[in-house]
Amino acid sequence: MKRIVSIGECMGELSETGVPGTLSMGFAGDTLNTAWYLRRMLPGDWTVDYVTAVGTDGLSNRLVEYLDSERIGTRHIQRLSDKTIGLYYIELKNGERSFTYWRSDSAAKRLAGDVETLEQALAGASIAYWSGITLAILAQADRQTLIDALMRFAARGGKVIFDPNLRPRLWESADAMREWITRAAGIADLCLPSHEDEASWFGDRDAEATAKRYRQAGAKRVAVKNGPGEISLLDADGQLAIVPVQPAAIVVDTTAAGDSFNAGFMAAELAGGTMAQAASAGAALAGRVIGARGALVPQAIEV
Ligand code: AMP
């Protein structure tokens, strides 16, 4: 069946409008960004479902309505009456963005609390996409529940695609982050790390070392992003390939560079492309996304 599920947390985003005393409201999150780009790039016979948990309050309703309006499937979103979605506020200070978060009690932290619900969400999908942020926000027991469900999904022939998206501040410790991320990558058909983060937290000396480490952890294939640097690929046979990236002439905002790359990569593979073609397509999309403000850039998508 032509169905992708993206699993993670989407938050409300509050940002200054420039008019004193008013804020503008949007929705964002790494796995949502990827789902949004996938939805716009994949043909209409594909279903893109978002899997998360939200509340039953007005703000949660607005998020679900937003996803519906973007044609992202909401059937598998759990509604928890005692919770609401996380929020963050973006402040611009001298051109630098700083963030304030209210997410410690968000509904999404419970997205893997119920095995049956997870199984239903995954049933019949061909690809499950998730990230290290999805993993970080969960309680320890729920992390294992989700990994186990994805392992069963993979055993049935589903493909698990994982972006480690290392965010040490979301984890109880750097050691816990390294351990869980390595475990999660081990069940992936495709792992999509960013070398700069990986070098900081795993000490990889170059992108090839990042790719090899994840393959050793069990990921079948790895594509390592490296900002404006080339993409390093390890295929299912362990063959290394390098794909050049055209460095952007102007970088306006790198938000969602990695998320859009991942979507461009997946869409190109689903259209029959090779790993190298998929990496080029991902880099081309991400290169356009960073040329405009914000995470979701409609004009970055070629039609
Ligand atoms: P990163 O997560 O920073 O490695 O970036 C993800 C992807 O965004 C990279 O693989 C590139 O395809 C793209 N990207 C990031 N920065 C640049 C840049 N300065 N110029 C062109 N592409 C970039």
Cα distances (angstroms) measured from residue 251 to each of 262, 287, 292: 19, 8, 8
Q: Which atom in ligand 1 lies closest to the alpha carbon of residue 282?
A: 12
Closest CA to 110 of 27, 163, 54: 54
Would you state the pLDDT for residue 24? 92
Q: Which tokens in the block code for residue 245?
A: 């990236």
Task: Determine the average pLDDT of the residues in 13-23.
Answer: 90
Tell me the HSE value of 244 on the side-chain side, using a 13 A CA sphere: 3
Q: What is the pLDDT of residue 17?
A: 85
With a CB cutoff of 8 Å and minimum separation 6, the contacts of 292 are 252, 253, 299, 300
Average pLDDT score over residue span 112-132 = 97
Amino acid at 195: H
Q: In the prediction, which pLDDT does 95 show?
A: 67
Write the single-letter amino acid at 118. L
- Nearest residue (by CA) to ligand 1, atom 1, is 227
Active-site residues, by number, are 259
| Percent of the chain with pLDDT strictly greater than 70 | 99
Whether 230 contacts 243, CB under 8 Å: yes
207-230: pLDDT as tens digits:
999 999 999 999 999 999 999 999
Centre of ligand 1 from the C-alpha of residue 120, in Å: 35
Split at pLDDT 50, 70, 90, the class of 119 is very high
Strand (E) or helix (H) holding 223: strand 221-224
Q: Is pLDDT above 80 for 47?
A: yes
What pLDDT is stored for residue 231 in this prediction? 98
What integer pLDDT is reported at residue 42 of this predicted model? 97
Query: Rounded to the nearest 5°, which phi and psi values hold at 8?
Result: 170, -160
Question: What pLDDT sits at residue 303?
Answer: 57
CA distances from 186 to 110, 154, 239 (A): 23, 11, 18
Q: How far is CA 74 from the centre of its chain?
A: 17
CA distance 216 to 224: 14
**What are the tokens at 52?**
């998360």
Cβ atoms within 10 Å of 105's Cβ, excluding its own:
11
> Pick from 29, 262, 285, 283: which is nearest to 167 by CA?
29
Least confident of 45-49, 240-244, 248-252: 248-252
253 burial type by CB count under 10 A (0-12 exposed, 13-18 middle, 19+ buried): middle
Q: How far is CA 38 from the centre of its chain?
A: 11
Q: How far is the CA of 241 from the centre of ligand 1 (A)?
A: 18
Work out the number of other CB atoms within 10 angstroms of the CB of residue 18.
Answer: 8
Residue 116 — pLDDT band, cuts 50, 70, 90? very high
CA–CA distances in Å: residue 88 to residues 23, 102, 300: 12, 6, 25
Under a CB-based contact definition with an 8 Å cutoff, are residues 263 and 34 in contact? Answer: yes
Q: Which atom of ligand 1 is nearest to the CA of 196?
A: 4
Stretch 236-264: mean pLDDT = 96
DSSP character for 137?
Answer: T
Residue for token pair 């059937």: 75
With a cut of 90, say whether residue 146 has pLDDT above it.
yes
Residue 302: predicted pLDDT: 75
Least confident range of 52-66, 70-84, 87-101, 128-142 = 87-101
Report CA(256)–ligand 1 centroid distance (Å): 10
Mean per-residue pLDDT, 30-38: 98
If residue 204 lies in a helix (H) or strand (E), which one and from where to where? none
- List the single range of 54-63, 211-220, 245-254 with lowest mean pLDDT: 245-254
Burial code of 79-91, b = ≥16 C-beta within 10 A, e = fewer? ebeebbbbbbebe
Residues with CB under 6 A from ligand 1: 194, 225-228, 231, 245, 247-248, 251, 254, 257-258, 261, 283, 286-287, 290
Report residue 288 as tokens.
């356009």
Q: Return the residue matching tokens 């090779």.
A: 274
Instruction: Return the ligand 1 atom nearest residue 231 CA.
Output: 10
Rg (CA), the chain: 18
Ordered structural domains, the chain, with CATH: 3-300 (3.40.1190.20)
Q: Quick one: DSSP state of residue 230?
A: P
Residue 93 has pLDDT above 90, yes or no: no
Residue of 191, 206, 225, 285 to mutate, ligand 1, most atoms within 8 A of C-beta: 225
Atom number in ligand 1 closest to CA 251: 19
Cα 79 to averaged position of ligand 1 atoms, centre (Å): 35
Task: Encode pLDDT of 59-73 as tens digits.
Answer: 999 999 999 999 999
